[in-house]
Amino acid sequence: MSRILTREAFENAICANAAIGGSTNAVIHLQALAGRVEVPFSLDDWNRIGRNIPTIVDLMPSGRFLMEDFFNAGGMQAVLRRLLDAGRLHGDCLTVNGRTIAENNGAIRVLNEEVIRPMTHPLTEDGGIVVLRGNLAPNGAIMKPSAATASLMTHRGAAVVFEDIDDYHARIDDPDLEVDETSVLVLKNCGPRGYPGMPEVGNMGLPRKLLQKGVSDMVRISDARMSGTAYGTVILHVSPEAAIGGPLALVENGDMISIDASANSIVLEVATRSLPAARRNGCRPRRRPAVSSACSPTRFCRPTKGAISSFSRAGAEPPWHGITYDEGDDLVEMRSRARGHDAAGGHSSYPVGRAYRRSC
């Protein structure tokens, strides 16, 4: 396996995912695989390697065609041939059939150039997954450019905050919700520990009153995942997640948030006290529900590296503890917010039973 799961193979995967407009879930899976086989591989590799890789597959949700059309046009092998011809893949990487990437795909032809476009006429010129960093996501957050609205890739707007998915469902279509098309929808407590289980709820539906006005996309931010079939300017996997006291937990309605995909930045425009001070003054990590031995994520294995390992360290100190985040020359500090948290660090509206059963 070590001959197949090499550093070059993971780099090929980043390029292939960009070319097809692939799912943001690829980030979690590839980071976990690399960690398991101890191949050096970081979030920063997605920006470095995936930048300037065009999305050439005109496939829903990013494009027009269906999976059947993609298959009939030559499928994944035809995409790999395009990337090989452009010099964007390591063609000597070994595959499971004992042959290399180049040997497997070098003779494949594209059968429909509307569906699988030439590299010079892509669906999206820069289709690679973008990793954003900043005081709102010190450990990173991700977005999918091929599914996003180009005009929203650089954006500044006021936060409309939902404390969890039930809060979102209860209020998103409220006609009195203070929201407009420039707002940034923020969903908390839907990460690996917060939900728990990190569900695919990050592509929040837009408020009904804005849909009725013809608004088709807005910036949305969460610590959740979303399906590879989803569309929109959606920022996901915000880390550290809200449930362990990450900066996302501190966002309030009306806070200004700026994103700039070209600069890989995501900034919460708040400057008062430091993040550790916010924790001391009452913004504690959200308490996890009790986990039965049958469903415990630590029951089956205890990996020590890679994305999977985060699920086995239930008692680990949040990675931001004791740290302030320096954005350029200015120390961007966060204010204390304890709304919705009780004295013990729990949350009065947390739907423990239903949410946990659904995740198991």
Q: Which residues are catalytic?
A: 227
C-alpha 161/C-alpha 148 separation (Å) is 21
* Cβ neighbour number for residue 219 with a 10 Å cutoff: 26
Q: Are strands 256-260 and 265-268 parallel, antiparallel or unpaired?
A: antiparallel
Identify residue 184 by its one-letter amino acid code: V
Which residue type occupies 251?
Answer: V
Query: What is the distance between the alpha carbons of residues 162 and 175, in angstroms, rounded to a whole number?
Result: 16
For residue 351, CA distances in Å to 11, 348, 356 come to 40, 9, 8
How many angstroms separate the CA atoms of 85 and 213, rounded?
A: 45
Quick one: tokens of 212? 């009725």
Q: Compute the CA torsion angle 273, 195, 315, 135 (nearest 10 deg).
A: -30
163: nearest Cα among 11, 293, 305, 346: 346
